[in-house]
Amino acid sequence: MVQRLSIRQFQDRDAPAAANLFFEAVQTGAKAVYTQEQRNAWAPAIPDVAKWRDRMAAQYSVMAY
């Protein structure tokens, strides 16, 4: 079975999922290479959604699904 990947420009509605993905990538995905202290310094909590939306919108950001 072939699965296709779609890529599109970031939209405001993507902010909650993108903020959560960032947090999980740091806290879970980077667990093998960074200490808890380092991960907490990098991403101590899920980013504020409004601030994350503004951050992503201020640059060229894409979403893959």
Judge whether 15 lies within some domain: no
Judge whether 56 lies within some domain: yes
Judge whether 47 lies within some domain: yes
Residue 59's domain comprises 23-64
Judge whether 36 lies within some domain: yes
Judge whether 9 lies within some domain: no
Instruction: Specify the residue for token string 């970031």.
Output: 10
Judge whether 6 lies within some domain: no
Report pLDDT digits (tens) over 21-64: 999 999 999 999 999 999 999 999 999 999 999 999 999 999 99
pTM, two decimals, is: 0.86
Q: What is the pLDDT of residue 21?
A: 96
String of b and e for 30-45 (b: at least 16 CB within 10 Å)? Answer: eeeeeeeeebeeebee
Judge whether 59 lies within some domain: yes
